[in-house]
Amino acid sequence: MPVRESLAWRLPLVVLALPVAACSSTAMPEPEVELAPVEARISPIAGAETITASEMLAHITFLASDELEGRDTPSPGLEKAAAYLEESFQSAGLEPAGDGSSFVQRWTFEQTSLKSADVTMEIGGGGSARFLEHAVDFFVLPSEDEVVSGGLEFFGPISVLLGDSIPDSSGRIAVVTTPPSMGMEILVAARAAGEAGAAGLLLVLAPELPPEVIGSVAGQIASVGLPPQSVPTVGVSWDVAQGIVSAAGTNLEDLLAAHEAGAGASRTISISGPTVTIRTPMQRQTSTPPNVVGLLRGSDPEMADTYIVLTAHFDHVGIGEPNAEGDSIYNGADDDASGTAVLLEVAQAFQALPRSPRRSIVFLAVSGEEKGLLGAAHYADHPTVPIEGIVGNINLDMIGRNAPDTVIAIGGEFTSFGERSKEIVSHHPELGLTIAPDPDPSEQAFFRSDHLVFVKKDIPAVFFTTWDHEDYHQPSDEAAAIDADKAARVARLTFLLTWHVAEDEAPPSWNEGALEEVHAILADSPL
């Protein structure tokens, strides 16, 4: 999943993306209710029974091995993973559905990264200038302007930049205080500050946050490689900010009190004193990472030109800051080798059936998810099947951890996928799964993984996950921590759901009023 907020201050992107007795040895009973009326009915059970915990774990173990070095986008490890997926798709009898006659679809990645050693923040100038240390005193989200300088303008809480009426900043650096937990709001605030004419944005972190947060966020920025923001956006601790404004003979408490009292018709307070200069030299690199795409062609001539797309991202975040044990490889076993393994097992399972389903199925393994859903976005804009023929998307991201008997169908309340999934687990108790509701709707997870690119094109989607855990984006997200039995049962559920929606006469659909609600949420989002 893409980086998102937590109890500590964490850098958001587009932000997402989650034993009972094994049942592989027990025959799966037929459903009591016919779920897909077709003339030549066949049972999908034989396919589901080919999906095993051992095969799921084998896929995850390879994809999350140290040999692949965390599968960063781009990286040699990502290319090794793509070759493994291509071989697996070919073995499953899928047709190549990438560029030309290949399984691989390349997309262009313009990566911008800070030259961290040369990043500076200067307070004042001349012989009295004071320099702050990057990743110790401040972190920065750069813009296209590598050097900006200006006086300080206090806007109050960051909520001022999130409102409808933004005060003019006229070339100064806007200063705002922030709450202990922040997410996509900083991207919205940076954009608003730029639109208000600010030269930059200075975020003052809440006083209860430890100074170490600065280094942590700086490390996230370095590992992700963000696109430039509207204006350079700097974060400093409360104590560092106090030192900056003290040069003007004031403090943050007095500034907040004056702002709350309504000082100044413009709702901002000019902070007299030294200028602030932010230098963010950047380096740019262009690469062409791979998506891997396979096609199972539908068996019904009248429905084969409609498609269900299964997605999972096979990239992760690569090599980063070592943990206490000295492990610096972020293997991404759950995030998202687990979801990728589902694609491989589901593709193989269809080989056990006497025919393919009526609709066609696209198996889409994407890269660049951790950089902002970039690989998926490229596919949605450059699909290898007609986009008007894509009638539904099932996305899998982090499906191998947490409670053994639940899987979360994010977005199930918006589309027919939700009720269909519940029908299937009801008809197949041997799956040992319950469809759980979104545990935290405020996170808006339906708008934070690869399915979002299809949702933006009004294509119904569902996102299966087993949710967050303490190893999320840590070197400890290893294959040894995966509940392989649960992952296999989620894969069987995915196979059965895919079969039935690909057999149904009617395509997946939005629930009444849901698409309008989704449009409204997206209109207010920076995504």
Element (H, E) at 500: helix 484-503
Helix axes 339-349, 484-503, angle to 10 degrees: 50
Distance in angstroms (rounded) separating the CA atoms of residues 489 and 22: 9
Q: Which of 58, 53, 60, 59 is nearest to 488 (CA)?
A: 53
Going from N- to C-terminal start, the domains of the chain cover: 45-108+288-523, 113-283
Asked if 98 contacts 291 with a C-beta cutoff of 8 angstroms, the reply is yes
pLDDT in tens, 385-414: 999 999 999 999 999 999 999 999 999 999
Distance in angstroms (rounded) separating the CA atoms of residues 223 and 75: 12
pLDDT in tens, 203-229: 999 999 999 999 988 887 877 666 778
pTM (two decimals): 0.81
Asked if 174 contacts 202 with a C-beta cutoff of 8 angstroms, the reply is yes
Given the candidates 3.40.630.10, 3.50.50.60, 3.30.450.20, 3.40.50.300, the CATH classification of the domain at 45-108+288-523 is 3.40.630.10
Distance in angstroms (rounded) separating the CA atoms of residues 102 and 517: 38
Give the model's pLDDT for residue 273: 80
CATH number of this structure's domain 113-283: 3.50.30.30
Distance in angstroms (rounded) separating the CA atoms of residues 429 and 456: 34
Give the model's pLDDT for residue 71: 98
Give the model's pLDDT for residue 34: 42
Give the model's pLDDT for residue 1: 60
pLDDT along the chain (527 residues), means of 10: 43 33 39 42 89 98 99 98 99 98 96 86 83 94 90 92 78 94 83 92 96 89 74 95 92 92 70 90 92 99 98 96 94 98 99 97 98 95 98 98 97 96 97 93 86 98 96 97 99 99 98 96 75
Asked if the bond preceding 327 is cis, omega within 30° of 0, the reply is no
Asked if 125 contacts 249 with a C-beta cutoff of 8 angstroms, the reply is no
Per-residue tokens: 66: 């140290």
Give the model's pLDDT for residue 376: 98
Q: Helix or strand or coil: residue 215? A: helix
Give the model's pLDDT for residue 41: 62
Asked if 454 contacts 4 with a C-beta cutoff of 8 angstroms, the reply is no
Average pLDDT, the chain: 89
Residues 468, 470, 476, 480, CA torsion sign: negative
Distance in angstroms (rounded) separating the CA atoms of residues 133 and 279: 12
Asked if 311 contacts 375 with a C-beta cutoff of 8 angstroms, the reply is no
Give the model's pLDDT for residue 426: 97
Asked if 278 contacts 145 with a C-beta cutoff of 8 angstroms, the reply is no
